[in-house]
Structure 1
């Protein structure tokens, strides 16, 4: 890893250093290799340790590095992408859906979701909580908002609670003929519940995918799925499916 003159670079020093380090990770370091300590790196590049830490934190955020107490900073391994979200013709919980139901309870949706569902702001809906794990690591958490009218057969029914109730709601929802779905993706910050589910700190950057499921000429359910922005890259193909890729893209 060579040195570089940073004083004349117009962009922030840590950002330029991050670029230099990123190129070195691709050409000079193997997956799992431990980087030199902060003192050595700072001396090599002629920067303050605070500047170096900013660059390392950014690379960790982008999934290029892993920093573990007692081990040091290592080069993160490239990980295989896995399919996320239902296919265009399938409801949540359909065969092949890797999301795991965790809980279900009645509650009031956020105002934006209520508008999408065309329900009264104070009207309660079923809120299904689901999680997604890849390679033993939590990578996404989902809240699926289902109006009572979409699963009317549950009215007055002594349905079980928790994950069992979630499966019942999903099964009843699937009785409708799915007419289509649309998605939107935006950058957000992890709320307390999401941060806990994803093993991140509150406020950590996340990718939020909002999906509206259509049936019988109306919105039958809305999914708000939160993905870890430090390990996930979302790509959309011709099939309309979503994939999450851990770590940086390694292809040309």
Structure 2
């Protein structure tokens, strides 16, 4: 059998360098240790800085490295498991919800979300901002979009502090028929990056969830997880889980 075009493609230089760097992280560096600057690393491995940067970005995406504002690139710690939601078919904010509500406003949803909700492109919806922390570190931020038609019993006059609790309370009165999720890789927007203590454009995992009640989508959420510290898995129960890095000291050899 002849060699296929795919088999003849050479491994990119940055990919080979990533493997070399990965071995160096295991043998020469401790968790939390700051890596040398790009100029020194490029000189050590005899590669262009552009090639080095590609390898570092890939290692960050795989959770081996973390880039921190004002600190630099550090070796990432190992991971622990954390459930994304309390259970299947549960409204946000109900039960053992691990999220913290930090605000709510009426705003026009992004076009993709409006399409999910079936609302007009210029229709304002209740937008609840929530965040998730693990061991004091931010790991995810979420925007929950709720059309006014889903919460018709909402009082007309609400203070900023009352807005989010009232929306969630009214949402919980509906019968949740089903929910579904989609996961994709994305880049952190400026606002999300600030909340997650990441740089704008950093890799993130975006989880979009639709909540169905009365035969229609009653709410939709877009949760943004740090891709450098989180990976998504499906457990035996079918619940989506996320794992987060937990600091761990390397034992002396």
Q: Which TM class, normalised by the smaller chain length? A: 0.7 to 0.9
Q: What's the CA shift for 1:188?
A: 1.7
Aligned to 1:129: 129
Distance (Å, rounded) in 1 between the aligned partners of 2:239 and 2:176: 16
- Is the Cα–Cα contact under 8 Å of residues 88 and 239 in structure 1 kept in the other structure? no
Q: How many equivalent pairs are there?
A: 238
Q: What's the CA shift for 1:144?
A: 0.5
Report the RMSD for the aligned CA atoms in angstroms: 2.8
Q: What's the CA shift for 1:68?
A: 6.2
Distance (Å, rounded) in 2 between the aligned partners of 1:141 and 1:70: 22
Q: 1:128-172: CA deviations, max 9, x gaps? A: 11111122221111110111121111142x22214x421221111
Distance (Å, rounded) in 2 between the aligned partners of 1:223 and 1:131: 12
- Is the Cα–Cα contact under 8 Å of residues 87 and 239 in structure 1 kept in the other structure? no
Structure 1: stretches of 5+ with no match in the other structure: 1-8
Distance (Å, rounded) in 1 between the aligned partners of 2:111 and 2:72: 44
Distance (Å, rounded) in 1 between the aligned partners of 2:105 and 2:55: 43
- Is the Cα–Cα contact under 8 Å of residues 68 and 197 in structure 2 kept in the other structure? no
Q: What's the CA shift for 1:62?
A: 2.7
Matches within 5 A, 1:94-243: 94-156=94-156, 158-162=157-161, 164-243=162-241
Structure 2: stretches of 5+ with no match in the other structure: 1-8, 247-253
- Is the Cα–Cα contact under 8 Å of residues 86 and 95 in structure 2 kept in the other structure? no
Q: 1:165-184: CA deviations, max 9, x gaps? A: 21221111011111110111
SS of equivalent residue, structure 1 residue 154 = coil
Distance 1:40 1:76, change over 3 A: same
Distance (Å, rounded) in 2 between the aligned partners of 1:137 and 1:195: 13
